[in-house]
Structures are given as C-alpha cells and as structure tokens.
Amino acid sequence: MWTDRTRMMLGDAAIEKLKNSRVAVFGLGGVGGHAFEALVRSGIGHITAVDRDVFDETNLNRQLLATRDSLGRSKAETALSRAKSIDPEADITALDLFYCAENAGFIDFASFDYVADCIDSVASKLLIIQNCLKAGVKVISCMGTGNKLDPSRLEVADISRTSVCPLARVMRRELRNRGIEKGVKVLFSTEEPIYGGEKARTPGSTAFVPGCAGLMIAAEIVRNLSGMGDV
C-alpha cells in the first residue's frame, strides 16, 4: 500500500488512527500548502481545507500548490484536486472561505481532532484559537515566516514562551486581552526579521522557511494524533 513506508515508522494502529482523524487547515499558502499536503501524504483520512484566495504569480516562489497551471485558480479547489491525485480515498472538504466573525458559525470546530492555523489575519487567528479552546480542540497556530532566511530557527512552543517574532508579540497581547496567556501551541521563528532596503508592507519570503514551517506543523499534528507524542 502507498502508506507502507509510514506504517513502518508508526505501526498499524497509528495508521488507522490517522485514517480516522479529522483535521482542518486554515490557509493554503506558503505554510498551509505544505502542511496540507504532508497531512494528506501521512494518511489523514478527513481534511477540511479553508482558503478564499486564488493563486497569483507572486506565490510561485514558495507555495507548494502554486504552479503556472494553477494561476488564477482557487487555492481550496486546487488543494482538493491535488489531494485526490495522491489519495483518491481521502475525504477532503474544500471551503472557498475567508474565516471571520461574519461566517464563524459556518464551521463546527468540535468536529475536528486538530486545527492548523496557517493564515495571516490577526483577527481571524484569534477567532480560530478562541473557538478551538471553546470546543476543546487542539490547535497549532503559525506565527510569522516572512522576512526570514534560516529555517533552523523555527520552533514549536507555547505562545507564552515566544520571543523575537513581531506577529507572536501581537498575538500574545491580543490573547492576553481576551484572558488567554498560555495553553496555545504555536510555531514561530527566533530569527530577527530581515528587511532588504526599505521596510515594505508586504513581507519578503523564501522557498524554504514557510515550507519548513508547514512541515513542522504537520509533524506536530501527525505525531499527536497517531499517539507518538508531540514534537
């Protein structure tokens, strides 16, 4: 079977757990696209992929699902077809949706075993985290990977233990304002942001830092759901 190499590492029981697990991935860009595909290739049986965006040329330098053929196409629908080309039996729900307060009731977080937050919007990230905590669902939230060159500086930690990352600083403050000071797992970088010349509103990016972040998020989820422990 196509999962045999993973089975050699995790065992039959873990593979069955992954097949029956339900995971949501919010954001299918540089981080989320890699996380999504790694989850599919790991045998996660039920995945909900959420992203309202379409691919454009600037995505080609770092986003796994971005190709010349996918330019102008929905990221969620592209993820669905990509997943089916890997595992035709996977149950993939593609939602062409930007998650926000106006449509928050559309998604039942209690139906998931784990949620990966790979989006940029602070308001939406906070909403995802709050709804996961309310539903008792495990969540891992990605902090900033833009303007970074060194993937070895990526770490998984509780939000209360983050440093350096500007987005993590904002998230710590906003979560604290909502009465949440710890208990939220995040992926962040301890590398100081690198700005080429004048600091731009749109962050620079590389092919490897967002991708490594996505793979680390997938590793955290797979290890946890398979019963192999956290990274």
DSSP string, 170-203: HHHHHHHHTT--S--EEEEE-SPP---SSPPSSP
pLDDT at 230 (0 to 100): 61
Token couple for 165: 């990352």
- Mean pLDDT across the stretch 137-141? 98
| Nearest CA among 195, 211, 186 for reference residue 59 | 211
- Mean pLDDT across the stretch 37-58? 98
pLDDT at 231 (0 to 100): 46
146 and 205 in contact (C-beta within 8 Å)?
yes
What is the Cα gyration radius of the chain?
Answer: 17
| Nearest CA among 149, 167, 143 for reference residue 209 | 149
DSSP-derived letter for residue 63 is -
| Nearest CA among 55, 61, 20 for reference residue 145 | 61
129 and 117 in contact (C-beta within 8 Å)?
yes
- Mean pLDDT across the stretch 36-53? 98
55 and 73 in contact (C-beta within 8 Å)?
yes
φ, ψ for residue 140 (rounded to 5)? -130, 130
Q: Read off the pLDDT band of 196 (50, 70, 90).
A: confident
Q: Read off the pLDDT band of 37 (50, 70, 90).
A: very high
- Mean pLDDT across the stretch 12-17? 97
Contacts of 158 (CB under 8 A, 6+ apart): 182, 183, 184, 185, 186
Is it the case that residue 198 has pLDDT exceeding 70? no
Q: What is the identity of the amino acid at 1?
A: M
| Nearest CA among 126, 165, 155 for reference residue 217 | 155
Is it the case that residue 204 has pLDDT exceeding 70? yes
pLDDT at 201 (0 to 100): 79
pLDDT at 213 (0 to 100): 98
Spell out the domains of the chain, with CATH numbers in brackets: 4-225 (3.40.50.720)
What average pLDDT does the structure give for the chain? 96
pLDDT at 195 (0 to 100): 87
